[in-house]
Structure 1
Amino acid sequence: MPKMNFTRVSLRDLLVAFGPMTLMVIIVCGLGYWLVDPAPPREVDFSTGQENSAYESLAKRYVKELSKNNVKVNLAPSLGSQENLQRIQDPDSDIEIGFVQSGSTDEEAAESKGLISLGSLFYEPVWIFYRSNKDIDAITGFKGKTINVGPDGVGVSRLFKQILSVNGMDASDVKLGTLENTPATVALLDGKIDALVFSSASDSPLLQMLLQTPGIKLFDFVQAEAYTRRFPFLSHVVLPRGIVDLGRDIPAKDYHLISPTATLVAHSGLHPALIDLFVKAAHDIHSGAGWFQKQGEFPSDRYTEIPVAPIAEKFYKNGPPMLQRYLSFWVANFFERMWVVIVALGALILPLSKIIPPLYVWRIRSRVYRWYGQLRTVEQAIEDVSEEQRQQVYASQLKSLDEIEEKVNQISIPLSYAEELYGLRSHINFVRKRVLFLMKDHSPAVDAAEAGEAADAANIANAAKAIVVSA
């Protein structure tokens, strides 16, 4: 049981000594966690595109990639690029990220709306499919025809009007349809419209089907290079002969196309950790070779007028963060986001580690040293006492020593400091002997042994005074 008492007291002193530091560390960690916000949300809303579009099929791949890190991506179908852009920049919308076609906005407007680019992902050429007995080799050849460009929320509608303008035409020179891609394709096959315009990557099922449908022709932008000079957000790409089906030689020649790029656009409020995840997913999905791009050409921080997020730029320059190459995303993200707190804790703990141990030692020894003040009081009380009061004062101080000793015997300290306690008890006994010596000082029968013993007590008491002073 005494050993248990010693241990309990030691733990209490440890708690008192280290408690403030522990509390301070917890506060710093909690404050850092709140400020740095290392835990991203587990859900994100993604604006995609029309049914059977490349946007829709690619968005499903993002769902699969982010689910590997327990992030749920909620897909929100849309008319296309323009509607995606409006949703992302709308402060009342829950949509945080989506596909946007290059040329849909400009840098100044993007910055004012708080938009950021996570990189361009792939070419999505402008495809013009038409029905005609003869080939059409210029946009002016569509004058007077019914051309479906899709609803206003589709990026190609705005782009096609720009194409008409540089060819000396306007919307009144053609009949523009506003059907979505799937019903517009049916209308083209049924001969209800003359042409269909849409912008899409090669992943689109509708595109694959139209390229292989007899009687449906693809418009060849023979002036593609000139278009890229007029519109910097466009690129000149070539659909190689036989790329669709080598055995059937589809297409039967190279086609020149003009192409904006699809960009992954988000609101600047998107959590940095989610930006990391989406950029990594984009790399896994779009880095391969395709009909128009080389291996590793996409994703890229080029081909976009929207400012690229710094985190995405860092990824494109240096690759994935080092910790994410060896740890799970959530663990790596925690350490990457909390490094400021870790540095702050190091700066805090280093000086405290030099202060706390001496403080703990002082608390233990103070339980003993404070009684030396009581001993000093007893010694002062027996000095310069008048002769008639000596016996009464000496007796009362002996009683005080007994009380002090009784209380000292109840002190519990760790065993490693027991030497301090036993030293105090010895000094109490030495002071008692000195008082007894003084009580007998007026008696002539003091023997030599008692005198020597009292002198030793006096010397030790003086040493005790020195300890008190130094403490």
Structure 2
Amino acid sequence: MASIQEDIAEHLSAAYQTVVDELKSWYEHAKEIWPFLLLLLIALITLIYFAKPAPPTTVYMATGEGSYRILGEKYREYFKRKGIDLQLFPTSGSKENLNRLLDKNDPIQVAFVQGGMISENQKKGLLTLGSIDYEPVWFFYRNDTFSDNRLVDKKKLENARIGLGPDTEAFNVLQLNGLPRLSPNYLVSSNLEGEQKLYRGDLEALLVVDGYDSAIVQRLIHHPNIHLVSFKRADAYVHLLPYFEKLSIPMGGFNIETNSPDHEIDLISTTTNLLIDENLHPAIQLLLLEAATEINGARTYFSKAGDFPAYLNSELPLSKEARYFFDKGPPTLMRYLPFWLAEFLERMFLLLLPFAAFAYPIIRAIPNYRLNLARKQIGGMYKELDAFEHQTLSQFDPQKRQGYLEKLNEIEVRALMSKASKIATADCYTLRNNIQFIRDAIEKEMIYQSLSAERKSDLSD
């Protein structure tokens, strides 16, 4: 037992001594090459300062009511799985979402915004990650309002009480039909309030812009006394308003058993767009696109699997990260690693790659730097030896021979004890040979006595 303890103690002692020796070695090297280390440290600090920071742990998103609110909850759950807190801010809809996104004092950096909402003076500072869903324009009306439920003409609409959402495309649709943008017959309210008024008969028609899965839309399309207008000129709407898409509902598309609807219905649809502040961290942008792929990329009533996210609405430029995502898919690391680890490795790679390019020639030059430093140290001893020899030649005194030898010994000891002896070994041995040559000459006295006599004779002449 004692032998095992002694063996362990010896190994631990050896390991400790090895670590100490290595630290001392590094310390000694650092004292020699500190200018290079300082240069590398400055370069690293500069890169860290200018490199992209770590992504925030909290992101703020404006949602809305109806399908936007449900969609926001799905995104929040996705972000939670990735370790990011997605704070949702309920709003009245797209218009408020857009205004909050434009307000630089507002923390909102992400928002669901309906296509067609953005004016020219609202584009600065905003980018899009693409469209993530269809938002059809549903034109519902009461059964007793129009006699022909397949065609609703302008005259009938002019006198109808119509409910409109506060920020929908309904206004543009009415205006294209030659109807006034503002009319006492229009009731602007929330979709839920408009639905209730339609049931009660306070409204003859209701324009709703929302997703197919919206609870309000589902209630209305299955209500026996409510009908849906077919946009027979859907192609014309799409041509005139490029942020619109044409969608179709086949006969029996809602319910085959009841054959609802009993005729094909054409719809026009804007899109739900994922808008961001241009300063949103690139990693968060990619995470939003990953969330959109999982949440909105599945097959839905109007879309096939993989249709979303997509760049359907060109009102805003696509972010660089989104363009890369659509062209090449998500970064490789994000496919196989947790978000935080993939993002960290990517950030470190982008940080260390330019640093390595800068550091490589510097690190490569360190051995030559140490060698040149050692040779410079030896060169200083050579100068001292040369000065000593010239002084000895001009003023040689046999009585001072011991002093001369002690001076030579002192120079040689310094050469042996210097770091230069370990780095520029060959140069150090050459120096010592020269010292020994002068030492031998002084001990023999003949050379220096004769040279000293000749020099004195020359001076007397």
- Normalising by structure 2, we get a TM-score of 0.81
- Residue by residue, what CA displacement relative to the aligned partner does 1:5-48 show, whole Å, maximum 9, x if unpaired? 99787534421344333333333233223213142222221111
Per the TM alignment, residue 421 of structure 1 is displaced from its structure 2 partner at its CA by: 6.2
Say whether residues 1:73 and 2:82 are aligned partners.
no
Q: Is 2:371–2:423's contact at 8 Å kept on the other side of the alignment?
A: no
Q: 2-side partners of 1:7 and 1:266: how far apart?
A: 52
After TM superposition, the structure 1 = structure 2 runs for residues 185-264 of structure 1, keeping only pairs within 5 Å, are 185-264=195-274
CA contact (8 A) 2:127 2:318 kept: yes
Residues 1:280 and 2:290 aligned together? yes
Q: Which residue of 1 aligns with 2:43?
A: 28
Find the counterpart in structure 2 of residue 291 from structure 1: 301
Structure 2 counterpart of 1:455: none
1:62 is matched with which residue?
75
The amino acid across from 1:160 in the alignment is A
Deviations 1:258-282 (A, max 9, x none): 1111211122222222222212222
- C-alpha displacement at 1:430, in angstroms? 4.8
Structure 1 residue 391 corresponds to structure 2 residue 391: no
Q: Corresponding residue for 1:447?
A: none
Q: Residue 367 of structure 2 is aligned with which of 357, 363, 388?
A: 357
Which TM-score applies when normalising by structure 1? Answer: 0.79
Contact preservation (8 Å) 1:118, 1:263: yes
In the alignment, the residues of structure 2 paired with residue 438 and residue 145 of structure 1 have an alpha-carbon distance, to the nearest angstrom, of 130
Aligned with 1:121 (options 126, 132, 154): 132
Shift of 1:402: 4.7
Q: Secondary structure at the match of 1:66?
A: helix
CA distance in 1 between partners of 2:323 and 2:426 (Å): 66
* Aligned counterparts of 2:79 and 2:38: Cα–Cα separation in 1: 37
Change (3 A) 1:139 1:103: farther
Q: Does 1:101 align with 2:114?
A: yes
Contact 1:9 1:412 in 2 (8 A): no
Q: Which string of whole-angstrom CA distances, capped at 9 and with x for unpartnered residues, describes residues 260-308 of structure 1?
A: 1121112222222222221222222222222222332222112332222
Shift of the 26–254 alpha-carbon distance from structure 1 to 2, 3 Å rule, reads farther
For 2:61, the equivalent position in structure 1 comes to 46
From the superposition, tell whether residues 293 and 20 of structure 1 become closer, same or farther in structure 2 (CA, over 3 Å): same
Alpha-carbon shift at residue 247 of structure 1 (Å): 4.2
Distance 1:88 1:58, change over 3 A: same
The alignment partner of 1:220 has SS state of coil
Deviant stretches of 4+, over 6 Å? 3-9, 412-423, 439-442
Identify if the C-alpha distance between structure 1 residues 195 and 415 changes in structure 2 by more than 3 Å, giving closer, same or farther: same
Q: Distance in 1 between matches of 2:22 and 2:52?
A: 40
Q: Find the aligned partners of 2:24 and 2:223 in 1 and give their Cα distance.
A: 89
AA partner of residue 298 (structure 1): F
On the 8 A contact 1:128/1:197 being kept in 2, the answer is: yes
What letter matches 2:133 in structure 1?
A: F
Which residue among 435, 438, 452 is the counterpart of 2:442? 435
Structure 2 match to 1:176: 186
In structure 2, C-alpha distance between the alignment counterparts of 1:74 and 1:26, rounded to whole Å: 38
Query: In the alignment, what sits opposite 2:319?
Result: 309
Q: Report the more deviating stretch, 274-283 or 403-412.
A: 403-412
For residues 145-164 of structure 1, what are the structure 2 equivalents within 5 Å?
145-151=160-166, 154=167, 156=168, 159-164=169-174
Q: Note if contact 1:242-1:253 (Cα within 8 Å) is conserved in structure 2.
A: yes
State whether residues 61 and 89 of structure 2, in contact with CA within 8 Å, keep that contact through their aligned partners in structure 1. Answer: yes
How many Å separate the matches in 2 of 1:270 and 1:164?
A: 36
Specify which of 329, 336, 347 is matched with residue 319 of structure 1.
Answer: 329
Match of 2:7 in 1: none
Residue 204 of structure 1, CA deviation:
1.0
- Relative to structure 1, the CA distance from residue 9 to residue 165 in structure 2 (aligned partners, 3 Å threshold; closer, same or farther) is closer
CA contact (8 A) 1:143 1:173 kept: no
> Contact between 1:120 and 1:299, CA under 8 Å: does it hold in 2?
yes
Asked if the contact 1:235–1:258 (Cα under 8 Å) also holds between the matched residues in 2, the reply is: yes
**For residues 414 and 139 of structure 1, what CA distance do their matches in structure 2 show?**
102
- For structure 2, which runs of at least 5 residues remain unmatched after alignment? 1-17, 450-461
Cα distance in 2 between the residues matched to 1:215 and 1:122:
28
Distance 2:39 2:79 in 1: 37
Contact 1:10 1:414 in 2 (8 A): no
C-alpha separation in 2, matches of 1:48 and 1:262? 11
Where does residue 88 of structure 1 map in the other structure? Answer: 101
Counterpart Cα distance in 1 of 2:54 and 2:179: 53
Change (3 A) 1:10 1:417: farther
| CA-CA distance at 1:143 after TM superposition | 3.1
Q: Is the 8 A contact 1:110 1:116 kept in 2?
A: no
* Fraction of identical pairs, as percent: 30
The alignment partner of 2:220 has SS state of helix
Code of the residue aligned with 2:113 in structure 1: it is V
Is this contact kept in 2: 1:381–1:397, CA < 8 A?
no
Amino acid at match of 2:186: L
Provide the C-alpha distance between the structure 1 equivalents of 2:125 and 2:423, rounded to a whole number of angstroms. Answer: 64
Separation in 1, partners of 2:19, 2:201: 96
Stretches of structure 1 lacking an aligned partner (at least 5 in a row): 443-471
Two-structure CA RMSD over aligned residues (Å): 3.4
Answer whether contact 1:124 1:260 (CA < 8 A) is retained. Answer: yes
Question: In the alignment, does 2:19 pair up with 1:11?
Answer: no
